Amino acid sequence: MTHQLQLRKPLAFFDLETTGVNIAKDRIIDICIVKAMPSGEVVIKNQRVNPGMPIPVESSLIHGIYDEDVVDAPPFKAVARMLAQFLDGCDLAGFNINRFDVPLLVEEFLRANIDFDMRNRRMIDAQRIYHLMEPRTLSAAYKFYCNKDLENAHSAEADTLATFEVLSAQMARYEGMPAKDEAGRAVVFQADVDFLHALTMNKNVDLAGRIIYNDKGEEVFNFGKHKGVAVLDVLKKEPSFYDWMLKGEFPLDTKRRLTEIRLRMFTNGTK
């Protein structure tokens, strides 16, 4: 299997099946990674995971994976280093990865004491491209771009391979066409990883979007009573809010980013 993407480094498409949709609480039970290499080669890796908790029946009815299917699978911690090595040096791509798959994957890595650094990775969300150009779901996107019906939807491998084909078809369809970025600015669509990252990236500081950048590039809270207020201002006026977040049911990545901002405040001497 080969591809037509213009790559300077490997681009890893991936999809997760999980116990639920709570980034802080839920766990991975299945992951598929389709790694597209600059040479044109494609490498596929599948990994079932025992989540260490019961799989809710409502989740099993969606993806078809039940407790008995993962009882002999390894815990994520046992395969975390292998997966991190497989993804080493890769940019990431997928369908709705900005909001769910990447935050949950990073959360699992952090629980396994692996700092999966996202800062030097490009991230391409085929869903964002699709919603910007043709608002639909993955199954409809697959039908629209590839003229195929998506069989075995919500199977990690089927969804990941479908996303891979969708993104490839998007490149062929939209190359050179006028488009609008997240800020509504006119751009010309390019089949280039840097462009696609800029087009589909969000304003999140943390992966879960609890802290975002405002139009001035300042970190602001994106929830609750301090929504829209600069994080530094809140930490100065209400220091206890930091302790409340660290003790609360927020993703580890959110707590890490908040701590980095707080440390920067003290480093800069602005208490």
In a domain? residue 2: no
Q: Are residues 56 and 80 in the same domain?
A: yes
DSSP codes of every residue in 199-242: HH---BSSTTSSEEE-TTS-EEE-SGGGTTSBHHHHHHH-THHH
Q: Are residues 66 and 31 in the same domain?
A: yes
In a domain? residue 247: yes
Q: Which two tokens stand for residue 49?
A: 């995971």
In a domain? residue 1: no
Q: Are residues 217 and 243 in the same domain?
A: yes
In a domain? residue 3: no
pLDDT digits (tens, 9 = 90+) for 195-248: 898 788 768 899 999 999 998 889 999 999 999 999 999 999 999 999 999 999
Q: Residue 106: which CATH number?
A: 3.30.420.10
- For tokens 């790559």, the residue is 7
Domain that holds residue 227: 211-267
Q: Are residues 43 and 159 in the same domain?
A: yes
Q: Are residues 113 and 246 in the same domain?
A: no
Of the residues 150, 180, 200, which one is the last residue of a structural domain?
Answer: 200
Q: In the chain, how many domains are there?
A: 2
Of the residues 175, 200, 225, which one is the last residue of a structural domain?
Answer: 200
Q: Are residues 109 and 58 in the same domain?
A: yes
> What pLDDT tens digit does each residue of the chain (271 aa) get?
667 788 999 999 999 999 999 999 999 999 999 999 999 999 999 999 999 999 999 899 889 999 999 999 999 999 999 999 999 999 999 998 988 999 999 999 999 999 998 988 999 999 888 888 876 789 989 998 999 999 887 899 999 999 999 999 999 999 999 887 766 677 899 989 988 987 887 688 999 999 999 988 899 999 999 999 999 999 999 999 999 999 999 999 999 999 999 999 888 765 4
Q: Are residues 34 and 58 in the same domain?
A: yes
Looking at every residue in the chain, the average pLDDT score rounds to: 91
Check residue 182 and give its pLDDT. Answer: 65
Are 49 and 29 spatial neighbours (Cβ–Cβ below 8 Å)? yes
Q: Is the dihedral of CA 20, 207, 126, 168 positive or negative?
A: negative
In a domain? residue 5: no
Amino acid making up residue 12: A
Q: Are residues 76 and 97 in the same domain?
A: yes
Please give the backbone phi and psi of residue 60, each rounded to the nearest 5 degrees, phi first. -60, -35
